[in-house]
Amino acid sequence: MLNKIDLNIVESELSLKYQSWFASSRIGYLLVFIAGAILPLAFSPVNFYLIALLSPAVLLYSFLFVTPQRAAWLGWWFGMGFFGVGVSWGFVAIYIFGLSSVFASAVLTFIGISLMAAFFALQGYVSVLFIRKIHIESKVFVLIVVFPLFWLLLEWFRGWFLTGFPWISLGYSQTGSVLSGYAAVLGVYGISWLTALSSSLLLVAFLFKNKKSIFVLVGVMAIWFGGYSLSLVGWTEVAGEPLKVSLIQGNVEQINKWDPNHFEKRKQRYLSLTRKHWDSDLVLWPENSLTVFHHQLEESLLKPLAEEAKKNNTDIILGLPVLDLETKEYFSSLMAINNSVKDSRKIQFYHKSHLVPFGEYIPLESLFRGLITFFDLPMSGFTPGQYDQKLLTAAGQKIAPTICYEDAFGEDLIRFLPEATLLLNASNNAWYGDSFAPHQHLQISQMRALETGRDMMRVTTNGVSALINHQGKITSRSPQFESYVVTGFVQPRKGITPYVRWGNVFVLFVMFFGLAGSVVYSRTKNS
């Protein structure tokens, strides 16, 4: 094992005990599992972002001593720790609010986590193949080139495969570090790559423990200084006066959200909180704050509300389902009541286009419907809206809308830019209770603000609602599990960041050509 794939920098520095732990002992599985399990602490709400440098280094360190098959298992156990802690809130959604049994909820959660952990298993297998094929003096090449690029590849693929699950991509952990300066240029995937690269470089410095380590550490410092320098660049500029906005957090219980017997109480809560804030330019309600179809509320609620808002020179954007009376398809939608702008579209709609699998629609519906209660919930039959929908206009501004999970896809959001001057995310995080999910989602919204150079307005059912400036800083936020109104100012902005212009193209170019070059290099060295 290790003596057959010697790294020069390893044999003289590392004890055989550590080698055997990863090469054959179950202790190795435990160590990488722990490394994966603590990695979510780098994300919100803990925000100890330096863990994102430590945990990947432990995983890569383990790959130095093993066969490809063993590396795959080490990667899988790392992924089980990472996703087992990081997305443990999936169990809450299925069991408590999906009304499924403990057993069914645990099995479904385990299957989901296991499938995601397979990405790390693949990373381990491929990385060790490279380590074995390249000449001894080139092993460092694998550490600082192949491992970070393959991390990037699998994150990107996870964010695309089967409509994508880009949650807790490594780059999100860096919203509070200087690496966030790269967001406007490279996006979250670029930051993931640079974080993994920094981790690899630190591992190499640890393994060398000689004068060469200084050059490696200088490389890490250069990466981080580059992030700081980019954070000082003003990619966008002010466009008009600040707007006063109010985010209405109704704190509606998820278990009763779709119960028609509780609708009147919910409606009155949102109306009451709104009427206290008619001095705002814009009032926002969360995703499906009204759980009755638009056409059923048009005369009794929405038209009177529009007239009341008009008298106070306030615009409103609220969430509700919309039924197409001809096709009988229904959408999760945002409705803008635009009174303060001379616009022919006084009432506008945005229909959610990127739905959550199994939560808002059922893939292979004929197979899964009826299997467990969670798959039969009424909100799991939504139809996706068209991808090329128009911006919402309110309070004199063009607003880029996303509903809940949609803002996890930065490459989708930029379709509204550079025309949009503000960002809006309306969410229902009540599905996940008192877990990591609402905090992780807030961090995702911060990344979208950084990537686009725009202020973000984030309104949720029961928290965390927040106003985020164009630098990704939270300027005002709500407590969780309270009826609360976040009131503050947002600054419309114009201009275009490199990420808005190019999206993920540059990062993907580096990734594909870097990995292709690595394959060519390995063959050349072995020819």
Q: In this structure, which amino acid lies at residue 492?
A: P
Q: Can you give the pLDDT at residue 167?
A: 94
Q: DSSP string spanning 253-281?
A: -GGGTT-GGGHHHHHHHHHHHHHTTTTSS
Cα 178 to Cα 172: distance, rounded to the nearest angstrom:
12
Residue of 159, 135, 169, 176 whose CA lies nearest to 411 = 159
How far apart are the C-alpha atoms of 349 and 77, rounded to whole Å? 45
- Tell me how far the alpha carbon of residue 403 is from its chain's centroid: 13
Tokens 């385990």 belong to which residue? 110
Quickly count: other Cβ atoms within 10 Å of residue 362's Cβ.
19
CB 444 within 8 A of CB 425: no
Tell me which residue of 233, 237, 178, 202 sits closest to 56, measured CA to CA.
Answer: 202
Other Cβ atoms less than 10 A from the Cβ of 12: the count is 11
Tokens 């039969």 belong to which residue? 376
Count Cα atoms within 13 angstroms, Cβ side, for 333: 24
| pLDDT given at position 527 | 62
pLDDT of residue 155: 96
Q: What does the pLDDT read at residue 316?
A: 97
pTM here is: 0.92
- Burial (CB < 10 A; 0-12, 13-18, 19+), residue 483, is middle
Gap between the Cα atoms of 252 and 265, Å rounded: 10
CB atoms within 10 A of CB 329: 15
Asked if 348 and 358 count as a contact pair (C-beta separation under 8 A), the reply is: no
Rounded Cα distance between 268 and 262, Å, is 10
Q: Are 239 and 492 in contact (CB under 8 A)?
A: yes
pLDDT tens for each residue of the chain, 527 residues long: 434 444 444 544 444 456 667 777 789 999 999 999 999 999 999 999 999 999 999 999 998 888 999 999 999 999 999 999 999 998 888 877 666 788 888 998 999 999 999 999 999 999 888 877 765 456 778 888 989 999 999 999 999 987 889 999 999 999 999 999 999 999 999 999 999 999 999 998 888 777 778 888 999 999 999 999 999 999 999 999 999 999 999 998 777 777 888 899 999 999 999 999 999 999 999 999 999 999 999 999 999 999 999 999 999 999 999 999 999 999 999 999 987 555 545 789 999 999 887 666 655 555 554 555 544 555 557 899 999 999 999 999 999 999 999 999 999 999 999 999 999 999 998 888 899 999 999 999 999 999 999 999 999 999 899 999 999 999 999 999 999 999 999 999 999 999 999 999 999 999 999 999 888 877 776 66
Under 8 Å between Cβ of 402 and 413? yes
Q: By the 8 A CB rule, do 37 and 81 touch?
A: yes
In this structure, the number of other CB atoms found within 10 A of the CB of residue 55 comes to 26
Write the single-letter amino acid at 6: D
Res 24: pLDDT: 75
pLDDT value for 9: 47
CB atoms within 10 A of CB 278: 14
Task: Give the separation between CA 139 and CA 6, rounded to whole angstroms.
Answer: 9
Question: Longest C-alpha distance within the chain, in Å?
Answer: 80
Candidates 323, 375, 376, 332; CA nearest to 350 is 332
Q: What is the pLDDT of residue 340?
A: 57
Q: 74: helix, coil or strand?
A: helix
Which helix (DSSP H) or strand (DSSP E) does residue 245 occupy?
Answer: strand 243-249
Size of the chain, expressed as the number of residues it contains: 527
CA distance 456 to 458: 6
Write down the pLDDT at residue 379.
53
Handedness of CA 252, 270, 323, 350 (dihedral sign): negative
Q: What is the pLDDT of residue 361?
A: 63
Q: Assign 309 to helix, strand or coil.
A: helix
* Torsion angles phi and psi, residue 231, rounded to 5: -65, -20
Residue 386's pLDDT is what?
94
Pairwise CA distance, residues 243 & 54, whole Å? 42
- 234-264 per-residue burial string, b: 16 or more CB within 10 A, e: under 16: ebbeeeeeebbbbbbbbbbebeebeeeeebe
- Beta carbons of 447 and 410 less than 8 angstroms apart: yes
**Annotated catalytic sites, by residue?**
287, 352, 404
Query: Helix (H, G, I), strand (E, B), or coil: what is residue 178?
Result: helix
Rg, C-alpha atoms of the chain: 25
Query: What are the residue boundaries of the structural domains of the chain, listed by start?
Result: 2-234+505-526, 237-496
What is residue 19's predicted lDDT score, i.e. its pLDDT? 67
Give CA angle at 168 (165, 170), nearest 5°.
Answer: 115
pLDDT for the residue numbered 129: 85
**CATH (residue range 237-496):** 3.60.110.10
